[in-house]
Amino acid sequence: MAAKPTKQSPIPSVWARPRREADQPTLSRATIVREAVVMLDAEGVEALSMRKLATRLNAGAASLYRHVATKDELMELAVDEVAAETHVPPADSPEWRAAAAEAAGSFRATALRHPWLSSVLGQAGLAYLGPNLMSFSERLAALFTSAGFAKPSGPIDTLLSYVIGMSTTEAAWLITVARSGETEADFIARLMPAAQQAAAVHEHLAEGYADAVSATVDPVALRDEKFAYGLDVVLDGLALRLEA
Amino acid sequence: MAAKPTKQSPIPSVWARPRREADQPTLSRATIVREAVVMLDAEGVEALSMRKLATRLNAGAASLYRHVATKDELMELAVDEVAAETHVPPADSPEWRAAAAEAAGSFRATALRHPWLSSVLGQAGLAYLGPNLMSFSERLAALFTSAGFAKPSGPIDTLLSYVIGMSTTEAAWLITVARSGETEADFIARLMPAAQQAAAVHEHLAEGYADAVSATVDPVALRDEKFAYGLDVVLDGLALRLEA
DNA sequence: CGCTCGATGCGAACGATGTACGCAGAGACA
DNA sequence: TGTCTCTGCGTACATCGTTCGCATCGAGCG
């Protein structure tokens, strides 16, 4: 609605009156959250303001508050919205390790697809009660109990902590890269001198950086590998617990 | 300096002129960062504004920008400031597992002491190059290489990811609790009905919540235990890698 | 001793933000 | 036709991060 009415209210005619526009359905919690996610993906967390979001929806800023109590609440809804993208294999799959690995990878993938997610997860208002995150946990619980763990909360928390921690770090890195406007490889190349200088005092770190400089490989593959390594470590540790 | 001069510049007398106050040394990057940490600890991340911080330092808001380029930069400095509180045992300690566990616990402790840390870590501007965080990594690298790992970056990233993930979750929870003004136990009690209802649809989760309700134990001890479990899992996984 | 100069502090202002208030129109049901 | 509820929104307020230009200070130098 509201196809920008002119400043002064004009002739009070039915025809001049703004008509509900059919293309943009109506303002609703769902449309608001969906558009918020689009904006967050496109411009990051600090570019999302209630006013800009409202403008995108052909609405006034105050209108949003009819469907959403507060911006923080909007954020929680946005988190749960993208949580729907995660995928956990069914519990009856024969190999629990592969299933857990796939669930973990799926979480990481959505966290990297929506890098703002990680910044928001650390914020206060717990979105952990949202239906989609809930069902993610539930499916993990099903997976681990069917795998033989007596109490699945231990494995769940361990796996999720690792995945969240790694994804947060990666997402923060990706945001920084994106902000530079360069490709990841170029950004790394430009950052190396400073990093090396900062690491020069620390013998063990300097060694690692020296390696990194020679390896001009695909940075994406490098991150994938790093994630896989830690994931394997965690799953190994869990497997050990399964035999007792 | 500047003990609030009166609005109109009064009689231009030496005695009326504001004098440098000796008790509050001077405005400097160090004092600013230190006070910022105090405010963050006391009132959380959203309560820290440049104006309020300046007022606390008997200064004008604009003055802060002589020592700090931007608020984001201040935050990075604050992160590195508290990173100095972490502790890693010397590399030559006989038992690398105990040493790694102590380092991890130390990180978690400071993350819980400064719950705003986790929210900021997920934010963009990488503070990972700060000197204190650097030396934390360095000491971890020393520890793991001395333990026998060929390339310490794998274990470091794995361990840190787990610790960061778990601490972030815990800190977010603690912030929510603190905001309620209740004790953690009371808050849990008040939250249980809603959580149970939300979990009711999910059979495996409902089970876990049923457990939690009967266990009216110390919530702090429960969190400690949860952290220790996951930490053991990670260290077991790493130990496995050491034998190959 | 007097002058200059760079460093430091800050009042005021700008644009943007999240949100409260109260009115206006629209559809439902009497 | 009249009333009531729901939805949209113009306006306003307090607060925010940050910039600009000026005032002040102390050190160095002639």
Average pLDDT (A160-173) is 96
Average pLDDT (B23-51) is 92
Q: Is the pLDDT of residue A12 over 60?
A: no
Predicted pLDDT of residue A81: 97
Q: Is the pLDDT of residue A234 over 60?
A: yes
Alpha-carbon distance B50 to A3, whole Å?
40
Among A173, A160, A169, CA closest to B169 = A160
Predicted pLDDT of residue B211: 62
Q: How far is CA A154 from CA A145, A193, A227, B155, B192, in A?
A: 11, 42, 20, 21, 20
User: For A164, which of B123, B165, B233 is closest by C-beta distance?
Assistant: B165
Q: How far is CA A242 from CA A151, A236, B225, in A?
A: 11, 10, 19
Chain A: residue whose CA lies nearest to B179: A124
User: For B158, which of A122, A134, A230 is closest by C-beta distance?
Assistant: A230
Q: What is the enclosing helix (H) or strand (E) of A225?
A: helix A219-243
CATH code matching the domain that covers B89-243, chosen among 2.50.20.10, 1.10.357.10, 3.40.50.300, 3.30.365.10:
1.10.357.10
Predicted pLDDT of residue A210: 67
Among A123, A41, A219, CA closest to B46 = A123
Q: Which nucleotide is nearest to A65 (CA to C1')?
A: C19
pLDDT per residue as tens digits for the range A114-160: 999 999 998 866 657 789 999 999 999 999 999 999 999 999 999 99
CATH code matching the domain that covers B29-68, chosen among 3.40.50.300, 3.40.50.10210, 1.25.40.10, 1.10.10.60:
1.10.10.60
Band of residue A8 on the pLDDT scale cut at 50, 70, 90: very low
Alpha-carbon distance B178 to B172, whole Å?
10
Are the beta carbons of A154 and B226 separated by less than 8 Å?
A: yes
Q: Is the pLDDT of residue B14 over 50?
A: no
Are residues B64 and B30 in contact, defined by beta-carbon separation less than 8 angstroms?
no
Alpha-carbon distance B79 to A230, whole Å?
25
Are residues B233 and A237 in contact, defined by beta-carbon separation less than 8 angstroms?
yes
Residue B20 CA distance to nucleotide D30 C1' (Å): 29
Band of residue A26 on the pLDDT scale cut at 50, 70, 90: confident
Q: Is the pLDDT of residue A61 over 80?
A: yes
pLDDT per residue as tens digits for the range B57-74: 999 999 999 999 999 999
Q: Is the pLDDT of residue A2 over 80?
A: no
Spacing of C-alpha A23 from chain mean position: 29
Q: Which of the nucleotides in strand D have any atom less than 7 Å away from a protein CB atom?
A: 7-12, 15-21, 24-26
Average pLDDT (B88-105) is 95
Band of residue A25 on the pLDDT scale cut at 50, 70, 90: low
Please give the radius of gyration of chain B, using alpha carbons only, rounded to the nearest integer.
Answer: 23
Which of A45, A145, A203, A205 would best serve as a mutation to test chain B binding (most B beta carbons within 10 A)?
Answer: A205
Q: Could you tell me the two tokens for B161?
A: 């990811």
Most confident of A125-139, B164-178, B208-222: B164-178
Q: How many CB atoms are closer than 10 A to CB A201?
A: 12
Q: Is the pLDDT of residue A110 over 80?
A: yes
* % of chain A residues with pLDDT over 90: 68
Q: Is the pLDDT of residue A239 over 80?
A: yes
Collapse the DSSP code of A34 into the 3-class scheme (helix H, G, I; strand E, B; otherwise coil) and give the result: helix
Superfamily of domain A1-68: Homeodomain-like (1.10.10.60)
Predicted pLDDT of residue B24: 53
Listed by start position, the domains of chain B span 29-68, 89-243
Band of residue B124 on the pLDDT scale cut at 50, 70, 90: low
> Which residues of chain A lie closer than 8 angstroms to B208, CB-CB?
141, 151-153
Are residues A182 and A192 in contact, defined by beta-carbon separation less than 8 angstroms?
no
* β strands within A30-177, DSSP E: none
* β strands within A98-163, DSSP E: none
Residue A28 CA distance to nucleotide C20 C1' (Å): 21
Predicted pLDDT of residue B217: 79
Predicted pLDDT of residue A97: 97
Q: How far is CA B41 from CA B36, B46, B47, B199, B240, in A?
A: 9, 11, 10, 33, 39
Q: Please tell me the CATH code under which domain A94-243 is placed.
A: 1.10.357.10
Alpha-carbon distance A232 to B143, whole Å?
21
Is B143 exposed, middle or buried (CB count within 10 Å of its CB: 0-12, 13-18, 19+)? buried
Please give the radius of gyration of chain A, using alpha carbons only, rounded to the nearest integer.
Answer: 23
Band of residue A57 on the pLDDT scale cut at 50, 70, 90: very high
Q: Is the pLDDT of residue B49 over 70?
A: yes
Band of residue B231 on the pLDDT scale cut at 50, 70, 90: very high
Q: How far is CA A188 from CA A112, A175, B160, in A?
A: 18, 13, 21
Task: Compute the mean pLDDT over every residue in chain A, rounded to the nearest whole number.
Answer: 87
Alpha-carbon distance B4 to B206, whole Å?
60
Band of residue B197 on the pLDDT scale cut at 50, 70, 90: confident
B89 versus B130: the higher-pLDDT residue is B89
The residue type at B47: A
Q: Which nucleotide is nearest to A60 (CA to C1')?
A: D9
Predicted pLDDT of residue B94: 86
Are residues A128 and B170 in contact, defined by beta-carbon separation less than 8 angstroms?
no
Predicted pLDDT of residue B232: 98
Are residues B123 and B75 in contact, defined by beta-carbon separation less than 8 angstroms?
yes
Average pLDDT (B219-244) is 95
Predicted pLDDT of residue A177: 92
A148 Rama sector, left if φ>0, alpha if ψ -120 to 50, beta otherwise? left
User: For B161, which of A173, A199, A230 is closest by C-beta distance?
Assistant: A230
Q: Which residues, 6 or more positions from B212, have their beta carbon under 8 angstroms from its beta carbon? A: B192
User: Among the listed ranges A171-175, B5-9, B127-131, B214-218, which one has the minimum average pLDDT value?
Assistant: B5-9
Predicted pLDDT of residue A196: 80
Chain B: residue whose CA lies nearest to A236: B237
Q: How far is CA A113 from CA A41, A229, B162, in A?
A: 8, 21, 21
Band of residue A7 on the pLDDT scale cut at 50, 70, 90: very low
Alpha-carbon distance A114 to A170, whole Å?
11
